[in-house]
Structure 1
Amino acid sequence: MGAPFALRPAQPFLAARPAANAPQAQLVGFPFEATASFRSGAAFAPQAIRTFSESIETYSPHQERDLEDLILWDRGDLVLEEPLNLGEHLPALRDFCAQLETQAPFTLYLGGEHTATLAFLSPEKVADPNFHLIVLDAHTDLRETYQGSPYSHAAWARRALEWLGPERLIIAGARSGLREEFALARSLHLLAPTPQDLLQRIQRLPAEARIHLSVDLDVLDLALAPGTGNPEPLGWRVEDVLTVLQALPARRVLSADLVEYSPPHDPHGATGVLAAWLVREMLLALTPAQHPPEKSPTVNR
């Protein structure tokens, strides 16, 4: 049962280091897409996002923070042999990721398809009554099974629901799914359809809440992020996601992931640049600040 896993070096993300002492945050690539059904290619996303990061700046004027002020460790990519039987190897993957997370206060995973998020929900997190999972996704992903598997990109949130219960799961931005999925989600009060709904839910989280944030790129409108596995219209704006990031209490966010970018379906690279930009904003928003931003000098007139 299970298998040994390892990390292989990769071209580091912008301002990240291939090795670091006492990192404040770490990046881990998770090139998994064994259950992709409509458009494949998510396994190429971690390295593509790193490459596109060279097209953006380290400084975010939106947050007045800079990646150069962080000790950021890029651990490279998890070595996965495709096709990987996730159901068989999930216990070992959860343990492996839990061990990785002990080496930095905040871990950001680069997917990969959305089923990978199950690997980031360690038994210790699930057992913690203060742990909450917040998902930004165009799809409910609450099927009992999909294509014969309970471990699928269309069923992973059902497994998370079984592990956590409805009180510790929020699905934000969902606008696609089976009638039965929406009926279940509404009956259990899982949904936060709009950014405003999610902000209200975040405000109601207990002060001691600990969080994993999962961002599926298809939460954004397909005009903004067409290069995903299953793009959907009527999506959120980039500004909406940024507002949510800034509303989250950074010291309570243990880990996060960005999933479902598909480089083969992004011929002009626009979605890749956006994905890299979001990684920067996630790192800056969710890594607790140690160095306050410099203030502009006062000019006497």
Structure 2
Amino acid sequence: MSFRSLLSVISFLSASMDAREITFPPVSRYPSQQIISQGYNEPDITQSKFAGLTTYANLPYVHCLAPEGQDVEAFDIAILGAPFDTGSRRISPGMGWSIYTGENVLLDWAKIVDCGDAPLTFLDNTVALKQLDRAHKIVSSRDAHSNERTTPRIITLGGDHTTTLSALRSTYQHWGAVSVIHFDSHLDTWDPKVLGKLERPHSHVSGVNHGTFLHIAHEEGLIRNTSMHAGIRAPMVRPKGDLRNDVRCGFAMVKARDIDRYGVSGITERLRSRVSGTKVYISVDIDVLDPAFAPATGTSEVGGWSTRELLSILDGLEGLDVVGADVVEVAPVYDNPGETTVLAAAEVVLSLIGLIVKTPS
């Protein structure tokens, strides 16, 4: 190194040591600088905020599906990915304080972790569902972190809506039949014998799909006759037969345009009264939102709810005994550069976490 280069290095180091901390003057009416989030603006280089392993809400990753005999960290709520058909980076525990309630459900009593994706084959749907059944069984049987609760809750990120069938099977093993609040633009109680035959050619398994899983769940005794659809607006296959079958499967219905008549509070009250006094499972198909708010999904239907309306309805369900939930049918490849759908789904998951945290079973 030349003498001149050495002087440059010494000068740089000296300037760095003498550099003063930059302090901004107080803003009018605020006596001192406000601390937005402890540690958020610290020069922390031990972890990356925008790279590396991506988990929901930057929650800690736990290998929930580890082999038997291997130690697994205890948790109360698990985020489980179900990539069935071939989640946001901004949210974090330290930045999860609600502007509406002043609460932070990510830093409450529950130990919340991200379990990553269940390893599902893309070659055979019947095998994939068996794999997902097994994944739910393993995760739900792990030790809970809280001493007062013995069974972790699972929030599944799908995948198409068929994945809810595995979740309901798992839920039934721990809590029995549940009332389902099903946010969707489609009924999803279609008779497999009818819907399966629409495929040409069809097989004995073609009736098991994202439009029939609730019918199958009813046949298996997984759900109660106190279940409820919310946001329905899609056309039917049989104008009378579909509705009769839907009632037989235990569902009542709130249509998308009912919100214009009853408002958010009216919709919320109808949902609450239907499932009152029961264990509740909430399933959110992202296409319950209008395509303007959630374009990245496989079966969009116009005339849906806004993201704000859906979040307000979910918040209005506080107090229900929610034992499991999911958000499904998000297809990021169809999203726009602003990630409108992904951001909406991430916020919906946060609301679902809040319902479980605020009213633990």
Coarse TM-score class (shorter-chain normalised): 0.7 to 0.9
Q: In 2, distance between residues paired with 1:27 and 1:250?
A: 21
Q: 1:120 to 1:250 in 2, by over 3 A?
A: farther
Partner amino acid, structure 2, of 1:24? D
Using the alignment, how far apart are the partners of 1:155 and 1:163 within structure 2?
Answer: 13
Structure 2 residue 207 is the aligned partner of structure 1 residue 150: yes
- 2:275 is aligned to 205
Q: Match for residue 181 of structure 1?
A: 242
Aligned to 1:3: none
Is 2:230 the partner of 1:172? yes
Long gaps (5+) in structure 2: 1-51, 63-71, 145-151, 259-263
Question: Counterpart in 2 of 1:42?
Answer: none
Match of 1:16 among 51, 59, 68: 59
**Which residue is 1:109 aligned to?**
156
- Give the residue type in structure 2 aligned to 1:82: F
Cα deviation, residue 59, structure 1: 2.3
C-alpha separation between the residues in 2 aligned to 1:182 and 1:199? Answer: 22
Change over 3 Å in CA distance of 1:78–1:124 after alignment to 2: closer
Structure 1 residue 63 displacement after superposition: 3.9
Contact 1:166 1:190 (8 Å CA) reproduced: no
- 2:115 is matched with 75
1:122-170 deviation digits (Å, cap 9, x = unpaired): 2661795652111100011222233331211122122123234661432
Q: Helix, strand or coil: the match of 2:182?
A: strand
Q: Deviations over 1:178-229 (max 9, x none)?
A: 223234335765322245345323224342x111110000001111111111
Match of 1:272 among 342, 345, 349: 342
> How many angstroms apart in 1 are the aligned matches of 2:267 and 2:96?
31
Pair 75,124 (structure 1): closer, same or farther in 2 beyond 3 Å = closer
In 1, Cα distance between equivalents of 2:242 and 2:91: 36
Give distance in 2, aligned partners of 1:83 and 1:161. Answer: 27
Q: For residue 134 of structure 1, what is the aligned residue in structure 2?
A: 181
Q: What is the letter of the counterpart of residue 325 of structure 2?
A: A
1:22 CA displacement: 4.3
Give the C-alpha shift of residue 240 in structure 1. Answer: 2.9
SS of residue matched to 2:298: coil
Computed over aligned residues only, the root mean square deviation of the Cα atoms, in angstroms, reads: 3.0
Whole-angstrom distance in 1 between the partners of 2:139 and 2:319: 19
Task: Identify the residue that residue 252 of structure 2 maps to in structure 1.
Answer: 190
Q: State the distance in 1 between where 2:115 and 2:323 align.
A: 17
Q: For each residue in 1:238-283, what CA deviation from the matched residue of structure 2 results, as whole angstroms up to 9, or x when unmatched?
A: 2332233223355711110000011111032111111112222221
The counterpart of 1:234, out of the listed 287, 294, 303, is 303
Larger radius of gyration: 2
- Of 120, 131, 137, the residue aligned with 1:98 is 137
Larger displacement relative to structure 2 (74-83 or 98-107): 98-107
Letter in 2 for 1:260: E
Partners of 2:113 and 2:159 lie apart in 1 by 19
% identical equivalent positions: 24
Name the structure, 1 or 2, with higher relative contact order (CA <8 Å, separation 6+): 1
The 3-state SS of whatever aligns with 1:172 is strand
Question: How far apart, CA to CA, are the structure 2 residues paired with 1:132 and 1:89?
Answer: 25
Match of 1:299 in 2: none
Q: Distance in 2 between matches of 1:275 and 1:33?
A: 18
